[in-house]
Amino acid sequence: MSNKFEGYRIFFPQSKRAKEGLPIFPGTILEHARKLGVEIASECGGQGICGRCVVRIDRGTEALNPLTPAEKRLQLGRSERLACQATIEKPANIHVFVKNAGQYSILSETIHRQVEIAPPVYVGDGQVWRRGPQGERSLGAYRGHLYGLAIDVGTTTIVFQVVDLATGQPLATVARSNPQKTYGDDVISRIGYTMQNRGGLAELQTTVIEAINESLEPVLSEQGIDRDEFYDVVVVGNCTMRDIFFGIEVSSLGVIPFEPLSTDPVNVKAGELGLAINSEANVYGAPLIGGHAGADCVADILASGLYEAETPSMLVDIGTNGEVAIGDKHGLMTCSCAAGAAYEGAAVQSGVGAIEGAITNISLRNGQVDYKTIGDKPPVGICGSGLIDLLAQLLEAGIMTRKAKLPQAFAVTDGIVFTQQDVYQLITAKAGLRLDQDLLMKYYGVTADGIDKLYLAGAFGNYIDAANAVAIGLLPDARDKVVKLGNAALGGAWEMLVSSRSREQAETFAGKIEHIKPNELEDDFLYLVAEKMYF
């Protein structure tokens, strides 16, 4: 029986990978994009709820189903569809233009502490050897260099460093968006995808591995590096991201009590994962803490030195998931919450990620709005740091009340409007994160005055105006103690890559951290969250 779709293809001209197109099949445009590795924002994971996956059909509209109820609720332009709702029903060649496909500005700068360069791989008798939990094993013949990869797999972005293991020197840093965003902007959506789709876990794993392989290729060419000279890899990420990377089941993270199957570190050969380096290279997944506090939080703590400090400090990493850690060498506590999605553009009408044209800084002067955008491009929306500035400025100007009431929508530009619903999304997100900070300080027995330093980790923490974050109640009033760490997760991954001792220290303190779930400890938790919604 002939296939009526045979000979017809779908094209995404913006994407280098998809210019040649893909044979069409009876599925949505989003499903075709996933197969091609084309990144389309899909906050809700393709449920037709978020309205983020807008595409323009430049050719082939006649082959698609009529507008769905979900699409009719939106003010879509002519020839625009939601990728998750537009289903190919008839044969035709289809050309798709992806909206909101701006280039992400991703934080790759990080700190590197002074450590002894002593990785677990070394050269002996013309072979490369690795010291590991099961003893020593040969990784093959020495080819002249020892290279490694430090990888931070974030929910939104992927950043990795190519490192000379002999010197500890990073030779290249690569940053890109995580193509898994096509399956949903948050970990819950991706966990759900693995639970609801046969082979979903393998699909998500392949997506991230192929993204790293693709991004590594030009580095190898430019640096003249032989891929077989890579012998060690360290991977960090939250619990979901780390376990998906290694193909470990994540469904337990989506149901009560929301815990990973294991918090232990992982060691797997690169060849088993499909990572395009020496197949015998060891790939190390740093230990997890518990709940949704993962290997990225362990790396943050390592990079900050929190675990060996004499006096207590607090560390806050605000991302799609927020982690808070507090303590010193005498003990550590952590907690985690879904904190950053709203501040990365999700559920905010004019919110966007850190893409070119995103408004990063806002000030109100004499009724006029001043702003800066990424890349000095025309404004396309407001990213997290800009949203914090906007809330603080509206509050200071009396345009928004301390009860978080915005009498009418506020126009930042002619096409970018901030609404009461946007305020609600942002104060809900900040309330949970601030409550976690306050409760963690209470449980540890210190106040904001009593902490030595307030470390801010990650891109969000790096770019926010601390004074404005304090003004809206996102952070406690310890602005004079703020230390910005940059991409501390990547810094911690680098340290575990080049120092066996640091790797051992991380495993030791990770196993002793007390992970707190305030929502289970506080009977009036929801009331406490509601209290933090106001200013």
CB atoms inside a 10 Å sphere around CB 149: 25
Q: Which tokens sit at 530?
A: 């509601």
Ramachandran category for residue 301: left, alpha or beta (phi over 0 → left; psi -120 to 50 → alpha): alpha
**Under 8 Å CB-to-CB from 497, ≥6 apart: which residues?**
119, 148, 149, 150, 163, 165, 232, 233, 234
What is the rounded average pLDDT of the residues 70-94?
Answer: 88
* Lowest mean per-residue pLDDT among 18-22, 245-249, 341-345: 341-345
pLDDT value at 1 more than 50: no
pLDDT in tens, 259-278: 999 999 999 999 999 999 99
The amino acid that residue 110 corresponds to is T
pLDDT in tens, 274-322: 999 999 999 999 999 999 899 999 999 999 999 999 999 999 988 777 8
pLDDT value at 111 more than 80: no
Give yes or no for a contact between 453 and 481, defined as CB atoms under 8 angstroms apart.
yes
What residue ranges do the domains of the chain occupy?
9-98, 121-301
* Lowest mean per-residue pLDDT among 15-19, 233-237, 404-408, 505-509: 15-19
Give yes or no for a contact between 35 and 22, defined as CB atoms under 8 angstroms apart.
yes
Q: Which tokens sit at 267?
A: 């060691």
The amino acid that residue 119 corresponds to is P
Instruction: Indicate the fold that domain 121-301 takes in CATH.
Output: Nucleotidyltransferase; domain 5 (3.30.420)
Cα(455)–Cα(466) distance, integer angstroms? 11
pLDDT in tens, 328-359: 999 999 998 765 566 766 668 888 777 778 89
Which of the residue ranges 76-85, 211-220, 373-382 has the most confident prediction, judged by mean pLDDT?
211-220
What is the rounded average pLDDT of the residues 233-254?
Answer: 96
CATH fit for domain 9-98, picks 3.40.50.280, 3.10.20.30, 3.30.1340.30, 3.40.190.10: 3.10.20.30
Q: Which tokens sit at 95?
A: 């050309």
Please tell me the predicted confidence (pLDDT) of residue 99: 66
pLDDT in tens, 204-230: 999 999 999 999 999 999 889 999 999
pLDDT value at 439 more than 50: yes
Give yes or no for a contact between 301 and 325, defined as CB atoms under 8 angstroms apart.
yes
What is the rounded average pLDDT of the residues 236-251?
Answer: 97
Nearest to 385 by CA among 151, 189, 186, 105: 105
Cα(38)–Cα(14) distance, integer angstroms? 9
